[in-house]
Amino acid sequence: MIPEIGHIALIIALVMAVVQASLPMIGAQQRKLEWINLASPLARGQFLFVAVAYGCLTYSFIVNDFSVRYVASTSNTALPLLYKVSGVWGAHEGSLLLWALLLSAWTVVVSLFSRGIPLLILARVLSVMGMISIGFISFMLFTSNPFVRLFPAPMDGRSLNPLLQDFGLAIHPPMLYMGYVGFSVAFAFSIAAMIDGKLDAAWARWVRPWTNIAWVFMTLGIALGSWWAYYELGWGGWWFWDPVENASLMPWLVGTALIHSLAVTEKRAAFKSWTVLLAIFSFSLSLLGTFLVRSGVLTSVHAFTTDPARGLYILVFLVLVIGGSLALYAWRAPSLRSIGQFSAISRETGLLLNNVVLVAMAGSVLLGTIYPLALDALGVGKISVGPPYFNQIMVPLGVPLFLAMGLGLTLRWKKDSTSRLSKKAIIPMGLALLIAILLPLLFAPEQHGLTFIGLILASWVALAAMIWLLNQGRSPFKLPASTWGAVIAHIGMAVTVTGITLTSIYSLEKDVRLAPNEQYSLGDYQFKLIGVQKVQRDNYVAYQGTVEASERGEQAMLMHPEKRTYLSQSRPMTEAAIDPGLFRDLFVALGEPLGKGAWSLRIYHKPFVRWIWLGALFMALGGLMAALDKRYRRLSSRVEVTV
Amino acid sequence: MTPRRKKRLLLVLLMIFGVSSATALALKAFDQNMMFFYSPTEINAGKAPENRDFRIGGLVVQGSVVRSEKSLMVKFDLTDTKEVITVQYAGILPDLFREGQGIIARGQLNDGVINAVEVLAKHDENYMPPEIADAVATAKEAN
């Protein structure tokens, strides 16, 4: 009964979405106030029904209702409650439902915090979000219904990959989806502005906080995914340039460009049509990312031939969203005239450089991700591009990006002078140069050109941001939140770049064969295999290794890497032992038994690897502070009074 | 041309320069790092490139896995059910590596043996990577 209620709720939500998408939009054109006023209540109603549907599916997971096909294929009785709840978004159908839920939730939140926004614009924004919602809900109802029953119902569900039973991974998709869906707000506002033919500073102030919040969630989501891959997959890598990862990186890159372009639109009334274009692309890439990861097209492009309706629907949906919004753009963008002029040396130019580089990065990632898929789908050949492709592009593109990033905050709007800039740049650049030369000389085992480049860029970005903050002429604690946000986010990026540079260059990674009491030296560390024992736990058996790690012969410490076999599974799973630290991680994973008590072991020394995720935390904090700046709220309350 | 237009032209030219150099960079990197996938039949027919990484996929032949006594060196045979080719690899094999399983290796061909730098066995126990399924299907059709 409960699944049927969910199914019906979803149908009602679809009907409401159709009304929400059409009436307010027509009402806004024909100035019919009653139709315009329908937008907010419909958004709330739609959210209610999607939430009911979502609740029903969650209930079916919790009570192990295996007569629901989706539950039977993604859950089982042995699963802890937490992973049953997170199992809802464990596969294609449920993750679409989560998407729809978050979308309707964002829509309601937009309607709640909309007091400063003219009714006409709000009606159009909510209408566009309703259209996206139609796309997702009808996709579910017509091709991927999570409530489909299974007859006869199996006694137990399919066993779930134990790799996926992890808290970090459980909260990773909702985080990422909050970001994906959040970009729909900027998208909807852009469509509304194009229809309206007006895009002013007030518009940018409405869009900026939403875009920032979406970006914060994406940043955290990507960082979580990277961290999970590091500690759980047993490979010790933190980024693999896997299509699944690239799918989330592309909207993040374009979204980062959007955040910066919006600043120009707000302060200088320039880059207007460019901002709109970025909003379209960041949302389109979010859609692409969702479908790439969840439709099964990555494991096999032939997934589409087994279910052609699904593939066709996705293609049509993408073409409608991207093609439709670009057509509207071609028609209406000329009316969004940018009036702000600027000279060649100005903050506008700096942000233009930021945008061009970020979009070029996203384009290169897109090429490396989509092209092999397209070739395979066309039957031309099977190719793949590995990490070297992406590294070869990202490093040279990153250099101008980070050079401009340091200058960016210091640059003045409209017109700046080279002499003033060079005076401002000389202290941070000098210090950065010192750091980049001295630190590796003092601490690094060997010198490397790329260390120099990475360190000088990172310290330049961080120092330039800090010095700029101190030179604001006011006590730093009286500065607006958005100023702090920008500085913290820039420092965060510098922290991440430092982590990436040092980990990539100085990581020591070794696969070794060790017999009991045999020792291996890796850099300053000695690793001694004491032995491997078989241990029995609640739901798995494991080989547990005991490895003694010591730094230069002192400070012996025991590490326990495991090779587990879960009872419901036949495949073993590597559980690495990690000794974390701010400046280095030690990482030991068990390979295979090689006979006579000897094992193959994977031993890593990873300097500064934590900085990669630490920097992402800073970036997210910075984005949050910028979104919470007083001036966005001040504006809405002022308009409220005049209405 | 007014000075304002001149400035604008300069900016546009700069952007075009930036975008085109990024494109050139991307295409060059793409060309250098593009890896093709070959089945054992194709490799034995001499289709695989020399001095360049490529990917090979197939089923691990039962009983063909030989480990070195002293190092991590391991040798095994891969087949698409028609032809067989030997792969050698120094490192830890993935958790899912088994005889009879489908795996994908990346490496170069030297004297009829693949020197692998990476061995992948993804996915669950019932799943065969699509490349290998295709290769096996093609080999069966040819029989």
Q: What is the mean pLDDT of residues A461-481?
A: 90
Closest residue on chain A to B39 (Cα): A382
Q: Name the residue among A311, A286, A260 with its Cα closest to residue A144.
A: A311
Beta partners for A535? A542
Q: Name the residue among A143, A494, A498, A458 with its Cα closest to residue A310.
A: A143
**Which pairing describes strands A577-579 and A562-566: parallel, antiparallel, or unpaired?**
unpaired
Residue at token pair 């995914």: A225
SS3 content of chain A, % helix, strand, coil (to 5): 65, 10, 20
Task: Say whether both A584 and A603 belong to one domain.
Answer: yes
**Which pairing describes strands A554-559 and A562-566: parallel, antiparallel, or unpaired?**
unpaired
Angle at A604 between CA A599 and CA A608, to 5 degrees: 165
Can you tell me whether residue A597 is helix, strand or coil?
coil
Which structural domain, as residue segments, surrounds residue A103?
Answer: 1-154
Task: Say whether both B64 and B27 belong to one domain.
Answer: no
Task: Say whether both B46 and B110 belong to one domain.
Answer: yes
Closest residue on chain B to A302 (Cα): B130
* Nearest CB partner across the interface for B26, out of A393, A400, A513: A393
Task: Say whether both A59 and A140 belong to one domain.
Answer: yes
Cis peptide before A152 (omega within 30 of 0): yes
Task: Say whether both B25 and B47 belong to one domain.
Answer: no
Task: Say whether both A570 and A435 belong to one domain.
Answer: no
Which structural domain, as residue segments, surrounds residue B128?
Answer: 37-142
Q: What is the pLDDT of residues B16-61, one digit of tens each?
A: 887 888 888 888 888 888 888 888 998 998 888 888 889 888 889 9
- ipTM value of the model? 0.80
Task: Say whether both B52 and B15 belong to one domain.
Answer: no
Predicted local distance difference test score (pLDDT) of residue A407: 92
Select from A235, A351, A399, A513 the residue whose CB has the most chain B CBs within 10 Å, as the one to mutate to test that interface: A513
Are the beta carbons of B10 and A344 separated by less than 8 Å?
Answer: yes
Select from B19, B20, B34, B71 the residue whose CB has the most chain A CBs within 10 Å, as the one to mutate to test that interface: B34
Beta partners for A602? A511, A589
Mean pLDDT (chain A, rounded) = 89
8-state DSSP, A320: I
Task: Say whether both A468 and A551 belong to one domain.
Answer: no
CB A98 within 8 A of CB A179: no
Predicted local distance difference test score (pLDDT) of residue A432: 95
Let me know if residue A178 belongs to a domain.
no
What one-letter code names the amino acid at A614?
A: L
Predicted local distance difference test score (pLDDT) of residue A223: 95
- Higher per-residue pLDDT: B45 or A19: A19
CB A467 within 8 A of CB A594: no
CB A611 within 8 A of CB A495: yes
Q: What is the pLDDT of residues A549-573, one digit of tens each?
A: 998 867 788 999 998 887 766 677 8
Closest residue on chain A to B73 (Cα): A513
Task: Say whether both A480 and A430 belong to one domain.
Answer: yes
Task: Say whether both A487 and A466 belong to one domain.
Answer: yes
Q: What is the mean pLDDT of residues A22-40?
A: 94
Residue A22: both structure tokens together: 């059409």
Shortest distance between the Cα of B111 and any Cα of chain A, in A, equals 24
Let me know if residue A492 belongs to a domain.
yes
Confidence of residue B15 (pLDDT cuts 50, 70, 90): confident
Residue A239: both structure tokens together: 């980024």
Which CA distances in Å does A28 have to A118, A239, A258, A336, A452?
Answer: 11, 47, 27, 19, 57
Task: Say whether both B87 and B123 belong to one domain.
Answer: yes
For chains A and B, CB pairs below 8 A equal 105
- Backbone angles phi and psi of B25, in degrees to 5: -60, -45
Predicted local distance difference test score (pLDDT) of residue B5: 75
Q: What is the mean pLDDT of residues A255-263?
A: 96
Q: Name the residue among B76, B123, B73, B74 with its Cα closest to residue B95.
A: B123
Angle at B121 between CA A173 and CA A598, to 5 degrees: 110
Predicted local distance difference test score (pLDDT) of residue A280: 96
Q: What is the pLDDT of residues B103-133, one digit of tens each?
A: 889 999 988 899 999 888 765 444 456 666 7
Task: Say whether both A428 and A541 belong to one domain.
Answer: no
Let me know if residue A38 belongs to a domain.
yes
Q: Name the residue among A256, A276, A389, A258 with its Cα closest to residue A325.
A: A276
Are the beta carbons of B32 and A392 separated by less than 8 Å?
Answer: yes
Select from A299, A389, A564 the residue whose CB has the most chain B CBs within 10 Å, as the one to mutate to test that interface: A389
Q: How far apart are CA A53 and CA A11, in angstroms?
A: 9
CB A195 within 8 A of CB A124: yes
Are the beta carbons of B26 and A364 separated by less than 8 Å?
Answer: yes
**Residues from chain B contacting residue A386 (CB–CB below 8 Å):** 33, 35, 53, 106
Q: How far apart are CA A298 and CA A369, in angstroms?
A: 10
Task: Say whether both B11 and B65 belong to one domain.
Answer: no
CB A385 within 8 A of CB A372: yes
Instruction: Examine the pLDDT at A134 and tell me if it is beyond 90.
Output: yes
**How many domains in chain A?**
3
Predicted local distance difference test score (pLDDT) of residue A641: 35
Q: Per this entry, what is the length of chain A?
A: 643
Write down the pTM of the prediction.
0.92
Angle at A39 between CA A36 and CA A44, to 5 degrees: 155
Let me know if residue A513 belongs to a domain.
yes
Shortest distance between the Cα of A229 and any Cα of chain B, in A, equals 14
Beta partners for A20? none
Task: Say whether both A433 and A500 belong to one domain.
Answer: yes
Task: Say whether both B23 and B54 belong to one domain.
Answer: no
Closest residue on chain B to A300 (Cα): B130
**Residues from chain B contacting residue A382 (CB–CB below 8 Å):** 36-37, 55, 131, 134
Task: Say whether both A604 and A615 belong to one domain.
Answer: no
Can you tell me whether residue A12 is helix, strand or coil?
helix
* Nearest CB partner across the interface for B29, out of A353, A357, A389: A389
Instruction: Examine the pLDDT at A50 and tell me if it is beyond 90.
Output: yes
Q: Name the residue among A164, A338, A319, A372 with its Cα closest to residue A261.
A: A338
**How many domains in chain B?**
2
Are the beta carbons of A393 and B25 separated by less than 8 Å?
Answer: yes
Shortest distance between the Cα of A344 and any Cα of chain B, in A, equals 7
The reply to whether B45 touches chain A by the CB within 8 Å rule is: no
Let me know if residue A8 belongs to a domain.
yes
